[in-house]
Amino acid sequence: MKKKKILMSWSTGKDSAWAFHKLKEHENMEMVGLFCTINAKFRRTAMHAVRVELLQMQAQRIGLPLDIIEIPWPCSNADYERIMGRYVENTQERGVTGMAFGDLFLRDIRDYRIERLKGTGIEPLFPLWDHPTGKLAREMIEGGLRATITCVDPKQLDSRFVGRSFDHDFLADLPETVDPCGENGEFHSFVHDAPLFSAPINISVGEKVERDGFSFADITCNRS
């Protein structure tokens, strides 16, 4: 049986990491690489604001090639679609047959991805789609995923949560209005250990700052 060649949309966070973990259980799928968009001006991942160095370390721990897609800042929707369209054309030429995403329940985002890949021959995959997020969050933690909160939207969640570990205590402290996986943009994370990693990434939580209406924690690699 010929295996499907799958690229993983990689945000550095828990949802993409766990989606990757679930896809590896399928014998008919071959995970061939990761792709991630970064802010070309600040050299950090979009929204999660993770340093490129840490993104690259994750890919090294997974043992797969990483495609870094630079997005200008500011970036119009037209520019974004042009850059991503060119990337999709490139992946077609490489024989990729599927792209996987860590989306959980936001229908408009899922529909957008499906629409953008229509007619390309690349199948969009959503391995975590519609899983109850409370149960899913606990499954991630109990399955060995370790993550730190890198960004919080203070309009939805108190800034004191930024920099915390994504663990059972974190989930217990979340207000009932906040999704346990942060799917409504309440928070974003950086995964520093997971079943798919060859070894953990030793990190430190540095300065916490308010920028562009969000609270960020600067995550660095602790080399000591």
Q: What is the mean pLDDT of residues 100-115?
A: 97
Residue 14: what pLDDT?
98
Within the chain, all domains assigned CATH 3.40.50.620 are found at 4-125
Categorise residue 3: left if φ over 0, alpha if ψ from -120 to 50, beta otherwise: beta
| DSSP symbols for 147-207 | EEEEEE-TTTS-GGGTT-B-SHHHHHHS-TTS-TT-TTSSEEEEEEE-TT-SS---EEEEE
The predicted structure's pLDDT at residue 49 = 85
Q: Which two tokens stand for residue 103?
A: 């989306």
Alpha carbon of residue 69 to chain centroid: 14
Q: What is the pLDDT of residues 152-198, one digit of tens each?
A: 999 999 999 999 999 999 999 999 999 999 999 999 999 999 999 99
- CATH number assigned to the domain with residue range 4-125, chosen from the 4 options 3.40.50.300, 3.50.50.60, 3.40.50.620, 3.40.50.720: 3.40.50.620
Tell me the C-alpha distance between 43 and 51, whole Å.
7
